[in-house]
Amino acid sequence: MGTRSRHLAPALMAALAGGILGCSGEALGPVSAKTSSPALSVATTGNGAPSGAHYNLNIIGMSKEKNVNMDGSGGNTIFVALGTKDASVRTKIMLEQSASAGEFAVLDKNGTDGTASFSLPAPGTYTIWARALAKPGGSATMTTCATDVTGTVADGDICSTENEVFVRGTGKSSFRNVTTSLTTIELDPLAFPDAVTACGGTTVDLFDPCLEGYFWQYDNNGLRLLQLRIYAQS
143-161: pLDDT as tens digits: 999 999 999 887 789 999 9
Answer for the pair 61, 219: CB distance below 8 angstroms, yes or no: no
pTM of this prediction? 0.80
If one counts every other C-beta atom within 10 angstroms of the C-beta of residue 45, the result is: 17
Answer for the pair 91, 220: CB distance below 8 angstroms, yes or no: yes
Least confident stretch, 13-27, 114-128, 135-149, 156-170: 13-27
- Which position has the higher pLDDT, 55 or 47? 55
Q: Where are the domains of the chain?
A: 10-232
pLDDT, residue 75, reads 85
pLDDT, residue 189, reads 97
Least confident stretch, 1-5, 93-97, 125-129: 1-5
Cα distances (angstroms) measured from residue 100 to each of 121, 123, 169? 7, 12, 37
219, 227, 228, 234: which is closest to 88 by C-alpha? Answer: 219
Beta strands in the chain (DSSP E): 19-21, 27-30, 41-43, 52-62, 77-81, 89-97, 105-108, 110-111, 115-120, 126-133, 139-146, 148-149, 158-159, 164-167, 176-177, 184-186, 203-205, 211-212, 215-221, 225-232
How would residue 72 be classed by pLDDT, with cut points 50, 70 and 90?
low
pLDDT, residue 153, reads 81
Give the SS3 label for residue 199: helix
Question: Apex CA 191: angle with CA 186 and CA 195, to 5°?
Answer: 60
Whole-number mean pLDDT of the chain? 82
pLDDT, residue 124, reads 95
pLDDT, residue 61, reads 96
Residue 18, CA atoms < 13 Å, CB-side half-sphere: 10
Phi, psi of 108 (to 5 degrees): -145, 110
How would residue 73 be classed by pLDDT, with cut points 50, 70 and 90?
low
124, 146, 132: which is closest to 195 by C-alpha? Answer: 146
Cα distances (angstroms) measured from residue 122 to each of 23, 44, 93, 99, 196? 27, 26, 16, 10, 20
Which residues in 157-192 are b (16+ Cβ under 10 Å) and which e? ebbbeebbebebeeeebebeebbbbbbbbebeeeeb
**Angstrom distance (rounded) from CA 87 to CA 94:** 22
